[in-house]
Amino acid sequence: SRRASRRFRQRAMESVFEPGHAGQSKSLIGEIHLARSEPVSLLQLILQADAAEASIEELGERGIVEFRDLNVGKTAFQRTYAQKLRYLDEQARVVQYIHERIAAEKDALDEEYGGFPVGEEIFPRAVADVSVQATDAVEGEQDGGRRGPLSKLAVAGMSDDELSLHLEETEQDLRTAHSSALALARKLTAAKEHAEVLRVVRSFVDGTGRYSAAAAAGASLAAAVAAAESGKAPEEQSLLGGNAGEETDEDDVGAAGPDPEAAWRLSAPSEQTTSFGYVSGVVDSAKRHAFERVLFRATRGNVFVHIDDQGGLGNDDGDDRCVFVAVFASERVRAKLGRIADSFGASRYETGRSLGDRMQLLDDAQSRIHDLERTHAETRSALLRLLHRVSCEVQALEWRVERRKAVFHALNCCNADITRGCLVAEVWCPDIFRVEVHTALRAATKRAGSNVPAIVHVLSTNHTPPTYFVQSKYTAPFQGIVDAYGTPRYREFNPTVFSIVTFPFLFAVMFGDVGHGFMMTMFAAFLVLRERRWERGGAPSQLESAFEARYLLLAMGVFSMFTGLIYNETFAVPIDIFGTKWHYPPGNHSIGAKESGEAYWFGVDPGWALAENKLSFLNSLKMKMSIILGIVHMLLGIACKLSNLVYFRNARDILCEVIPEFFILMSLFGYLVFLIVLKWSTDFTGKVAPSLMDTLIKMFMSPGTVKAEEQLYAGQGAIQVVLILLLVVCVPWLLLPKPFLIKRAHERGFSELEKSNIEESNVKAGEDDDGHGGEFQFGEIMIHQVVHTIEYVLGTVSNTASYLRLWALSLAHAELSEVFWERVLILCASVSHGSAGFVFMVVGFAVWFGLTVGVLMGMESLSASLHALRLHWVEYQNKFYAGDGYAFQPLQLAREPVL
């Protein structure tokens, strides 16, 4: 129903909205830039084909126009510049690849180049160095396709083909360097694994070194293997030893491609049926258990597997690997075990046949490791050098590629007129930028050396223009709050104008405390002072959102100090600035204080702080104050609605909606506000003050009669009857005339404009087309009005009640801070004296301060801002705000690489 009624309002507004002369009617707030979005016109740009790219760049750098897509029906690849974009995508892919490589080596780069940050933050320094020389060089020769040290200027000056070439070369270099480093790393790993396997086999089979104990379980097996081997060794060595040696020498990169079969033949002779053989190698630790299980099953348990994971081996991905030695008795299973090992991705290495062989192999492996380590280190440092150079320019490259892509995406939105050699673009442009558009286009024509200037037409259109506000850094966070609910409709009254004051104020009503307000102000002031530094370099990530909202926080803090002064609370303690106006009888404090007949000059009298009836006094004060603030706030909402209707020249809605709405609010709660103020300003000394609640209830239960002792002013009964009658009249007034007026207008055929507007909005938006487009349906309009009436009348009561949250939150805040003050700080301070007292004092202060910052400054402030937010979004904005516009999103090209 809410949406429906809002849509209805939208139509009503559209019906009177005429694009041409809306800007001419100026009311007082109409002249504030923030109050209504900037007038935006639809411009048609006819760009010469040769100057088109330059024009888009110039416009994009200034960020002043939003391109309308004139090729909505066309798919991405049917558009004019699809080919070009594909070409740029390829460049983007290379940039992406470079980023990936840099990210992969980030740690190593940090280490190598002394913690020199790579990636995002490397650019400023790198460019600072390079651009100094580059600026000198380039300043003279404009637009020279300069190459060399790739600073931003150099990158910007390159043609697309040059850039492609450069990227291609860089990628090729990187890939080569990376793959050779990787290959060397693999070889090194293989060599290390080989050495480790040899060590394990040596200690396990030969029974030496640190592994002998681990192999205790397989000791007899190991001994048997060793025995079989040493027995057989002499005969076999002559046959196969030379062969094995050759292989090792040739295969200088280590057993990168081990030939396991050779090792098998070596390690155990086949004719010896009683001998034991073994298969050894390296397998991923993660697969170790599955591997053992499969080995066990495959041989029906006739295998002994020794696993050693002490070697600290790892693969490329950093997973642990461990050495295994599988000892078996029967030769037949050798091939099978080998295949199983392979299928588990194990690397098997030659282990020689005797102790001597193994010593020899180990020595070889060791020297290979030594060589490889050196070569690897060199390759790595070459790779890192390359990466470091590339990381200096990658930001510029990325900026350039993204920028080009954005330009061609924008060009793809234009209509290409091949025959005339020009492009037709339609852009939304705020009127304040109109002149700048011409400047930009002139600059582009000059830059591209084109003879024919671009032509600019203003088009009249039925499309709703985008909403654009000129923001300052102070107003931006407030506008953000409003936009989070919905972007204002084009030229609609912008609630931000009042939110700038009301938001921090309503927050402060709930957060009123001089001390806490001061802390918040100081924090915000700190953020504001850091502004210059952090706007360029970026705020620390924890403070980022607070930094965005720094002026909001500042206002909230200052307002909190103000309300704190009114409540007279500083960390829950009143400050007796002007001297309390209560008289205390000397000596006995339990006796009630006496009035001096004079009011405290500003805010709440500090004398209330110690009074027993403090709470009932403050509650009554804050409750009434909440209602007054609420009514004023809602009245403001209605005033905004009036301003909108005046602006859009909608007399019908002023008469049929704003006026009854105003009277409904005023006759009920406006009157209550009057009573509150009256009661405050009446002296009831010696009399019983009448209860306002009773007065309001009796106003409806027994209209016209007010008991003499309950009367607040003369003629109260009669006035109340008038108010009730006004209320009773206003409800049908709000409900009935408007639908019938619309109906009559329609029947007379005067609603052409309205109809075309409705149809238009359905055609263009598509999203708010619910299938009842241009047809006039009285029932529907009536239902909308019924819904609106019910919503408004009920809302009058419930929204007013909603403002009582001001009182509730304020009470909670005051009570919490008082509890922390009295029960933590004062209690600790008064527990004992002397050195123990000092300790208590320190601890107590720490606890109190922690609670104040954590609970009050953290949680309480958050909850108070959420409640303030709600009061704005719901209670205030539902009186007038449509919020269904769409934001102006200009093409924005960064002039510099974005850091």
Q: Which stretch binds other proteins (CB under 8 A): 334-342, 442-450, 482-490, 785-793?
A: 334-342
Choose between 112 and 320: whose C-beta lies nearer to other proteins.
Answer: 320
Q: Which one of residues 108, 294, 654, 782 is an interface residue with other proteins (CB under 8 A)?
A: 294
Choose between 297 and 589: whose C-beta lies nearer to other proteins.
Answer: 297
Q: Which one of residues 297, 374, 420, 823 is an interface residue with other proteins (CB under 8 A)?
A: 297
Provide, rounded to whole angstroms, the least separation between the CB of residue 97 and other proteins. Answer: 7
Choose between 69 and 121: whose C-beta lies nearer to other proteins.
Answer: 69
Provide, rounded to whole angstroms, the least separation between the CB of residue 289 and other proteins. Answer: 10
CB 741 within 8 A of CB 652: yes
Q: Which helix (H) or strand (E) holds 674?
A: helix 671-681
Rule CB under 8 A: say whether 772 interacts with other proteins. Answer: no
CB neighbours of 72 closer than 8 A, spacing ≥ 6?
A: none
Q: Which one, of 772, 47, 165, lies nearest residue 454 by Cα?
A: 47
CB 644 within 8 A of CB 885: no
User: How many residues make contact with other proteins (CB under 8 A)?
Assistant: 26
Q: Which one of residues 1, 23, 26, 76 is an interface residue with other proteins (CB under 8 A)?
A: 76
Main-chain phi, psi angles of 213, to 5 degrees: -65, -45
Rule CB under 8 A: say whether 302 interacts with other proteins. Answer: no
Choose between 77 and 684: whose C-beta lies nearer to other proteins.
Answer: 77
What is the C-alpha to C-alpha distance for residues 185 and 379, in angstroms, rounded to an integer?
Answer: 10
Q: H helices of 452-549, where?
A: 476-485, 496-510, 514-529, 531-537, 544-548
Rule CB under 8 A: say whether 419 interacts with other proteins. Answer: no
Rule CB under 8 A: say whether 82 interacts with other proteins. Answer: yes
Rule CB under 8 A: say whether 344 interacts with other proteins. Answer: yes
What is the C-alpha to C-alpha distance for residues 326 and 227, in angstroms, rounded to an integer?
Answer: 17
Provide, rounded to whole angstroms, the least separation between the CB of residue 336 and other proteins. Answer: 6
CB 731 within 8 A of CB 795: no
Q: Which one of residues 2, 26, 86, 589 is an interface residue with other proteins (CB under 8 A)?
A: 86
Rule CB under 8 A: say whether 651 interacts with other proteins. Answer: no
Choose between 74 and 744: whose C-beta lies nearer to other proteins.
Answer: 74
- For helices 550-567 and 476-485, the axis angle rounded to 10 degrees is 90
Provide, rounded to whole angstroms, the least separation between the CB of residue 96 and other proteins. Answer: 6
How many Cβ atoms sit within 10 Å of the Cβ of residue 878?
A: 17
Rule CB under 8 A: say whether 85 interacts with other proteins. Answer: yes
User: What's the sign of the alpha-carbon dihedral 500, 503, 506, 508?
Assistant: negative
Q: Which stretch binds other proteins (CB under 8 A): 70-78, 134-142, 311-319, 659-667?
A: 70-78
Separation of first and last alpha carbons in the chain: 46
What is the C-alpha to C-alpha distance for residues 880 and 10, in angstroms, rounded to an integer?
Answer: 11
Rule CB under 8 A: say whether 562 interacts with other proteins. Answer: no
Q: Which stretch binds other proteins (CB under 8 A): 16-24, 93-101, 875-883, 889-897?
A: 93-101
Q: Which stretch binds other proteins (CB under 8 A): 32-40, 71-79, 381-389, 655-663?
A: 71-79
Rule CB under 8 A: say whether 684 interacts with other proteins. Answer: no
Q: Which one, of 161, 157, 695, lies nearest residue 447 by Cα?
A: 157
Angle value at C-alpha 527, between 120 and 847, nearest 5 degrees: 110
Q: Which stretch binds other proteins (CB under 8 A): 73-81, 463-471, 744-752, 785-793?
A: 73-81
Q: Which one of residues 31, 77, 316, 708 is an interface residue with other proteins (CB under 8 A)?
A: 77
CB neighbours of 809 closer than 8 A, spacing ≥ 6?
A: 510, 511, 863, 864, 867
Rule CB under 8 A: say whether 319 interacts with other proteins. Answer: no
User: What's the sign of the alpha-carbon dihedral 342, 345, 349, 351?
Assistant: negative
Q: Which one of residues 298, 382, 476, 841 is an interface residue with other proteins (CB under 8 A)?
A: 298
CB 820 within 8 A of CB 835: no
What is the C-alpha to C-alpha distance for residues 12 and 139, in angstroms, rounded to an integer?
Answer: 58
What is the C-alpha to C-alpha distance for residues 198 and 191, in angstroms, rounded to an integer?
Answer: 11
Rule CB under 8 A: say whether 97 interacts with other proteins. Answer: yes
Provide, rounded to whole angstroms, the least separation between the CB of residue 328 and other proteins. Answer: 15
Rule CB under 8 A: say whether 290 interacts with other proteins. Answer: yes
Rule CB under 8 A: say whether 790 interacts with other proteins. Answer: no
Rule CB under 8 A: say whether 310 interacts with other proteins. Answer: no
Q: What is the DSSP letter of 489?
A: P
CB half-sphere exposure, 543, CA atoms < 13 A: 15
Rule CB under 8 A: say whether 330 interacts with other proteins. Answer: no
Choose between 76 and 836: whose C-beta lies nearer to other proteins.
Answer: 76
Provide, rounded to whole angstroms, the least separation between the CB of residue 511 and other proteins. Answer: 38
Q: Is 459 exposed, middle or buried (0-12, 13-18, 19+ CB in 10 A)?
A: exposed
Rule CB under 8 A: say whether 336 interacts with other proteins. Answer: yes
Rule CB under 8 A: say whether 186 interacts with other proteins. Answer: no
Q: Which one of residues 46, 340, 440, 572 is an interface residue with other proteins (CB under 8 A)?
A: 340
CB 280 within 8 A of CB 222: no
Q: Which stretch binds other proteins (CB under 8 A): 335-343, 433-441, 637-645, 675-683?
A: 335-343
Choose between 344 and 518: whose C-beta lies nearer to other proteins.
Answer: 344
CB neighbours of 802 closer than 8 A, spacing ≥ 6?
A: 630, 870, 871, 874, 875
User: What's the sign of the alpha-carbon dihedral 49, 53, 58, 63?
Assistant: positive
Rule CB under 8 A: say whether 840 interacts with other proteins. Answer: no
Site string for other proteins, 248-287 (x = CB under 8 A): ---------------------------------------x
Rule CB under 8 A: say whether 78 interacts with other proteins. Answer: yes
Choose between 87 and 776: whose C-beta lies nearer to other proteins.
Answer: 87
Rule CB under 8 A: say whether 96 interacts with other proteins. Answer: yes
Q: Is 426 strand, coil or helix?
A: strand
β-sheet bridge partners, residue 47? 423
Q: Counting every residue, how long is the chain?
A: 899
Choose between 247 and 292: whose C-beta lies nearer to other proteins.
Answer: 292
Q: Which one of residues 220, 343, 596, 711 is an interface residue with other proteins (CB under 8 A)?
A: 343
Q: Which one, of 112, 155, 111, 105, lies nearest residue 130 by Cα?
A: 155
Q: What is the DSSP string of 794-810?
A: HHHHHHHHHTTHHHHHH
Rule CB under 8 A: say whether 88 interacts with other proteins. Answer: no
Q: Which stretch binds other proteins (CB under 8 A): 131-139, 333-341, 736-744, 797-805?
A: 333-341
Q: H helices of 237-354, where?
A: 242-250, 260-267, 288-298, 333-343
Rule CB under 8 A: say whether 405 interacts with other proteins. Answer: no
Residues near other proteins (CB under 8 A) = 75-78, 82, 85-86, 89-90, 92-93, 96-97, 287, 290, 293-294, 297-298, 336, 339-340, 342-345
